[in-house]
């Protein structure tokens, strides 16, 4: 099977969940013997750097990267309010990328064009004009839900109104685009249900994020750090910033015996300059798994996310005891106090942390059951086969 994978950012380095998810799809398809070509957007935030890739991988995928200026332009953003254009998505359209796509479709025939995220949908018209390939939208999340939740969580009246407008705009766009693809590979059952609620007829399959479990080898490095918590996530993503700000200001002052370790790309200055000596800022770490391995408890204080949190899957694979909000754990087949601790308020987070550190049987159960859940349901080899079967259904 010949597959053209269009990425909204380079899959490597694996700096966030989206990159990891895209790379795992590619690796799974290549491992299964399929022919994959990649054309990726490169941006100021996610630049393509050749040294991050194995030369064989670049050759095998005929990898192309096209720089697209996706920085928010205030004039264009304001104009979109007047014209009702979807600026959030349209800023990913580039004539240079479109030209690269036209060349690829003219030189090769593909069975499947795999769109990584909503942000690659502006290129559907070009694909339809030049190819008979089936178009699959790999939905990492429903974008409108993220913006709607951010609107609900802010107290600023003007900001709330603007975010609500963006959420409605995005929902209209997502509803309209569904009818233009042949199939949707949703990342969670919750997202699949929301797509079905739109009432549009399109082939739909739930294919969660998967990992190569053999790459995740937890050790006893966290021994002696029982009173240490950690958060790992890209800090140029608003839900992460909001969640960490809330945790450091509202929750952590109640946990005086603990240390909090923070790591992630684009750490904001207010966190770097934190005066609390028990907050340790590691910035962007070279080896995320080695960082995780040092500490026993992972916090995921998300209130406005959507889709599925890749870092939770990775944390479970590394046998971390995870404390997350319901929204943070959304899309993952978790069970409170069995393979995760669910906490939605300050009091619940404090209680969960104290319970885990006071009860070695509880924390061990959470850690072991989390690992078993990933081995059973989030194995990339199994999930790749499901994706390939979905492709075959569309081609039939």
Task: For residue range 263-292, list pLDDT tens digits in order.
Answer: 998 888 877 776 688 999 999 999 999 999
* 8-state DSSP, 251: I
**Per-residue pLDDT, 88:** 67
Is the predicted pLDDT of residue 76 greater than 80, yes or no?
no
| Close Cβ partners of 170 (under 8 Å, ≥ 6 residues apart) | 86, 88, 89, 143, 144, 147
Same domain as 277, residue 327: yes
Q: 137 and 249, same structural domain?
A: no
Beta carbons of 329 and 301 less than 8 angstroms apart: no
Q: Are 332 and 389 contained in the same domain? A: no
Strands (E) across 107-212 are located at 112-116, 134-139, 183-186, 203-206
DSSP 8-state class, residue 3: E
Nearest to 370 by CA among 211, 181, 176: 211
Q: Are residues 245 and 171 in the same domain?
A: no
Question: Residue 62 has what pLDDT?
Answer: 98
Is the pLDDT assigned to residue 79 strictly greater than 70?
no
Q: Which residues pair with 299 in a beta bridge?
A: 323
pLDDT tens digits, one per residue of 339-366: 999 999 999 999 999 999 999 999 999 9
Same domain, 200 and 247: no
Taken in order 154, 156, 157, 163, the sign of the CA dihedral is: negative
Residue 66 confidence (pLDDT) above 70 = yes
Q: What mean pLDDT do residues 356-379 have? A: 96
Q: Could you give the CA distance from residue 107 to residue 130 in angstroms, rounded to a whole number?
A: 10
Euclidean distance between the first and the last CA atom of the chain, given in angstroms as a whole number: 13
pLDDT exceeding 90 applies to what percent of the chain? 70
Compute the average pLDDT of residues 172-179.
86
pLDDT in tens, 212-254: 999 999 999 999 999 999 999 989 888 899 999 999 999 999 9
DSSP code string of 213-234? GGG----STTTT-TTEEEEE--
Closest CA to 151 of 164, 169, 141: 164
- Give the residue with greater pLDDT, 194 vs 122: 122
Whether 198 and 155 share a structural domain: yes
pTM over 0.85: no
Long-range contacts of 142-148 (CB under 8 A, 24+ apart): 142/174, 142/191, 142/194, 142/195, 142/306, 142/307, 143/88, 143/89, 143/118, 143/170, 143/174, 143/306, 144/168, 144/170, 144/171, 144/174, 145/194, 145/306, 146/239, 146/304, 146/305, 146/306
Residue 220 backbone phi and psi in degrees, to 5: -95, 25
Taking the CA of residue 153 as centre, how many other CA atoms within 13 Å lie in the half-sphere pointing to its CB?
Answer: 19
β-partners of residue 321 are: 297
Mean pLDDT of the chain: 91
Counted domains in the chain: 2
- 85 or 384: whose pLDDT is higher? 384
198 and 237: one domain?
A: no
Q: Average pLDDT, stretch 307-311?
A: 83
Domain holding 350: CATH number? 3.40.50.2000
Question: CB-based contacts of 32: which residues, under 8 Å, 6+ apart?
Answer: 384, 385, 388
CB atoms within 10 A of CB 295: 23
Residue 216 to residue 212: CA distance in whole angstroms: 8
What is the sign, positive or negative, of the torsion defined by CA atoms of 169, 174, 177, 179? negative
Where are the alpha helices (H) located in 32-156, listed in sequence order?
Answer: 55-60, 74-83, 87-90, 95-107, 124-130, 143-153
Number of Cα atoms under 13 Å in the Cβ half of residue 191? 31
What pLDDT, on a 0 to 100 scale, did the predictor assign at position 228? 97
Residues 228, 183 within the same domain: no
Do 181 and 113 reside in the same domain of the chain? Answer: yes
**Are 325 and 309 found together in one domain?**
yes
What is the torsional sign of CA 223, 229, 233, 236? negative
Domain of 115 in residue numbering reads as: 2-210+379-395
201 and 220 part of one domain: no
The pLDDT value recorded for residue 175 is 86
User: Using alpha carbons only, how large is the chain's radius of gyration in Å?
Assistant: 21
140 and 278 fall within a common domain = no
pLDDT at 83 over 50: no
């Amino acid at each position: 099977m010949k597959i053209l994978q269009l990425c909204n950012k380079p899959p490597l380095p694996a700096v966030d969940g989206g990159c990891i998810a895209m790379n795992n799809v590619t690796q799974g398809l290549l491992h299964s013997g399929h022919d994959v070509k990649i054309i990726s957007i490169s941006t100021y935030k996610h630049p393509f750097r050749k040294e991050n890739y194995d030369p064989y991988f670049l050759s095998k995928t005929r990898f192309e990267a096209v720089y697209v200026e996706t920085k928010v332009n205030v004039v264009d953003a304001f104009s979109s309010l007047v014209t009702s254009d979807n600026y959030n998505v349209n800023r990913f359209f580039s004539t240079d990328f479109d030209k690269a796509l036209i060349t690829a479709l003219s030189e090769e025939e593909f069975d499947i064009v795999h769109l990584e995220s909503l942000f690659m949908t502006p290129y559907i018209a070009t694909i339809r004009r030049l190819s008979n390939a089936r178009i699959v939208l790999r939905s990492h999340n429903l974008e409108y839900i993220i913006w709607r939740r951010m609107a609900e969580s802010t107290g600023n009246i003007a900001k709330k109104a603007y975010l609500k407008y963006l959420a409605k705009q995005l929902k209209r766009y997502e509803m309209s685009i569904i009818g233009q693809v042949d199939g949707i590979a949703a990342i969670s059952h919750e997202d699949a249900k929301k797509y079905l609620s739109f009432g549009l007829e399109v082939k739909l399959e739930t294919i969660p994020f998967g990992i190569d479990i053999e790459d995740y080898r937890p050790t006893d490095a966290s021994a002696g750090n029982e009173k240490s918590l950690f958060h790992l996530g890209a800090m140029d993503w608003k839900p992460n910033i909001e969640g960490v700000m809330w945790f450091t200001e509202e929750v952590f002052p109640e946990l005086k015996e603990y240390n909090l370790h923070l790591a992630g790309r684009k750490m904001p200055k207010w966190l770097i300059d934190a005066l609390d000596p028990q907050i340790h800022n590691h910035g962007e770490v070279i080896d995320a798994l080695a960082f995780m391995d040092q500490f026993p408890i992972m916090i995921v204080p998300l209130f406005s996310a959507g889709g599925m949190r890749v870092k939770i899957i990775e944390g479970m694979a590394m046998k971390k005891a995870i404390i997350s909000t319901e929204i943070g754990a959304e899309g993952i087949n978790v069970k409170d106090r069995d393979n995760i601790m669910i906490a939605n308020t300050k009091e619940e987070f404090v209680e969960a942390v104290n319970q885990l550190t006071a009860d070695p049987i509880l924390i061990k159960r959470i850690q072991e059951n989390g690992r078993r859940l990933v081995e059973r349901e989030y194995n990339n080899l199994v999930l790749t086969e499901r994706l390939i079967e979905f492709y075959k259904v569309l081609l039939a």
